[in-house]
Chains A and B, each alone.
Chain A
Amino acid sequence: MVKITGIAFDPWEELSSFQTAMKREGEYGACANFVGTMRDMNEGDAVNGMFLEHYPGMTEKHLEKIVQAAKEQWEILETLVIHRVGELLPNDPIVLVAVWSAHRKDAFEASRFIMEDLKSKAPFWKKESLESTGQTAEKNRWVQKNTSGY
C-alpha cells in the first residue's frame, strides 16, 4: 500500500494496524522497516520547519512503480509506504517503508531498494525554514539534493 498524507502520522501505529489488517500471520518471518524523521539541523543551520511539496498523481504513480519493481526482484508478501507532505515540524516522521517477507534477505534488501529509489527519484521537494540568527540572509531555502544512502 502506498499513502501520501498531509497530516502527521505515527509510523508505529500504522505498522501495527497494517500488520493486523493484512492477516498473514504465520506466512511472514521478517518485517524490515525504515522511518525517516525530520531533524532540527541541516548543513550547519538550525531548521524550524519544513514544507514538503509533491506532484499529485505522478508521485503516487512513481511510488507504486518502485514497489512493483521490488516485487519483481524479491519474494515479498506485503509492503507499506507512507510519505508525509505539507508543513512539517522537527521530529515529525516523514516517511515509512515496511516490507514483509518469509525470510530476512528479501525484506532487508527490498526495503533498502524502495527507500533509495524513493530518495533519488520520487517527486518530492523539501523547503526548509531556517531559524533567524541575524547572519543568514535567507530564511527559507530549497534542499538542493539528496545524499546517497549507499
Chain B
Amino acid sequence: MTQANDQMYEEAMQIKVLYFASLKELFGRSEEQLSVEGVSTVDDVWKLVSKGYDVSHQVLYSINQEYAHADALVKAGDEVAFFPPVTGG
C-alpha cells in the first residue's frame, strides 16, 4: 500500500451503524453505511450521528455486537450500534 493510500485510509473509514427502538424512530432509519473521518472512538461516532437531535435518554453503545464503553476504539468495517436502555423480559 502506498503512503497516499495509507493516509486516505486514516482519513475516512467505512463503518456500519445500527439504531434501535426510540433512536431508530428519532433518526428515521435503522441502519446505514457511513464513511467517517476524524473519528476514533465510538463516542465520536455518536456525536457525529446525533448532531442536531435532542436525545434526552441514556444511550448504550456496542461494537460488533458487544457492549462498548464510550472511549472504545472503532476501526474500519466495524458494526456500531446505538440504543436506549434495554427493557426485555
Contact = CB atoms under 8 A, between A and B. Distances in A.
B46 interface: no
Interface residues of B, number: 17
- What is the predominant secondary structure among interface residues of chain A facing chain B? mixed
Interface string A87-131: 000000011000000000000000000010011111111110000
Given A58-B65, A61-B65, A125 B20 contact: yes
Interface string B50-89: 0000000100001001110000000000000101111111
Contacts of A57: 65
B85 A144 contact: yes
Interface range for A: 20 to 34
Interface string A43-55: 0000000001111
B65 A146 contact: no
A124 B83 contact: no
Nearest to B67: A121
Given A55-B20, A142-B22, A144-B57, A125 B86 contact: yes
Contacts of A146: 85-89
B21 interface: yes
B36 interface: no
Of the candidates A36, A57, A83, A94, the one having the most CB atoms from chain B within 10 angstroms of its own CB is A57
B85 A53 contact: no
Contact of B89 (A55, A58, A94, A127): A94
Interface of A: 36, 52-55, 57-58, 61, 83, 94-95, 115, 118-127, 142-146
Interface of B: 18, 20-22, 57, 62, 65-67, 81, 83-89
22 contacts: A53-B21, A54-B88, A55-B20, A55-B62, A55-B65, A55-B81, A57-B65, A61-B66, A83-B89, A95-B89, A118-B89, A121-B86, A123-B20, A123-B88, A124-B87, A125-B83, A125-B87, A126-B88, A143-B87, A146-B87, A146-B88, A146-B89
